[in-house]
Amino acid sequence: MAVKTILQAINEALDQAMEKDESVVVYGEDVGFEGGVFRTTAGLQKKYGEGRVFDTPIAEAAIAGSAVGMAINGLKPVVEMQFSGFSLPAYNQVVTHVARFRNRSRGKYHLPMVIRMPYGGGVKALEHHSESLETLYAHIPGLKLVIPSTPYDAKGLTMAAINDPDPVIIMEPKRIYRAFKQDIPDEPYEVEIGKARMVKEGKDITIIAWGALVREVEKAMKTLDVDAEIIDLRTIAPMDTEAIIKSVKKTGRVLVVHEAYKSFGPAAEIISRVNEEAFFYLEAAPRRLAGFDVTVPLPKGEGHFIISPEQIAYEVKKLMAEKA
């Protein structure tokens, strides 16, 4: 066991995957010599050479498109979009080719490729650096989308994504890349894609979150005398509906917390599933606390956009006071 941050855990997963399998290649803007803008890939080029870890031009569509060709021809590309907001130029490639190739070839071709992208606010970055775009990618059939919130999950989900025969997108909460450390196994391991994590069992209310906001939920609940069940969704697509419904049937109340824009966001989908499968167990109308439907503000205004533990606690108190 070793104590590592989320960033270090991802680096270790990439290192161990490359060591085990020579078909794994890592590339993107500045991931080679510099080791990535956040240093997630630090040391990999020196260890595995410029043939397997290399820099690319600022051309996100080319990064995603070339990975399709590599994956079809036997490699396992792990590409990095420097920030999730920069992935939009590659969106056409991701939606029309990455997500569809297995279906288009009637199963003849799988695309064992991974797209990593730091996402979310909280680091006072520039425009296009702070978006939470999970809605865009979770909506597309053929894509899996995972979001770790702990070092253990960061390593295990990255390993699982690399070993998956189909494309997986990993959105990495950059706000907590170095925020805390956790003991994780030295040896390679996987965290199953599609399974939520029970952060804390409880009986009064179900709170569902992912990424950096899991920690904010935990902070909020330390201020309240409420026995909350906290679920880290961990995989946005495919979603662990069973875990959600099981919890809501026990607590009768549900709050979904996410950074993505509120309108048409993941919370709307989660609450719809709750209404479809657990409506008669509800003690109050489900609620969501999400990002405002505005462009993520620049650094001076970011504090007005980022969801705080105080806001979460306020929503929990309101929900606990309501009756169906």
Residue pair 284/195 in contact (Cβ under 8 Å)? The answer is no
Q: Catalytic residue among 97, 110, 129, 304, which?
A: 129
Phi and psi, residue 237, nearest 5°: -145, 120
The tokens for 10 are 């991802």
Residue among 252, 237, 241 nearest 206 (CA)? 252
Q: CB neighbours of 140 closer than 8 A, spacing ≥ 6?
A: 94, 95, 99
User: CA–CA separation, 286 vs 295, rounded Å?
Assistant: 26
Instruction: Judge residue 22's burial from the number of C-beta atoms within 10 Å of its C-beta, 0-12 exposed, 13-18 middle, 19 or more buried.
Output: exposed
Residue pair 122/212 in contact (Cβ under 8 Å)? The answer is yes
* Residue 129 among the catalytic residues: yes
CA distances from 260 to 6, 10, 135, 243, 309 (A): 21, 23, 7, 21, 17
Instruction: Judge residue 262's burial from the number of C-beta atoms within 10 Å of its C-beta, 0-12 exposed, 13-18 middle, 19 or more buried.
Output: middle
Exposure class string for 118-145: b at 16+ Cβ within 10 A, else e: bbbbbeebeeebbbbbbbbbbebebbbb
Sign of CA dihedral 194, 197, 198, 200: negative
Phi and psi, residue 250, nearest 5°: -85, -40
User: Which are the catalytic amino acids?
Assistant: 129
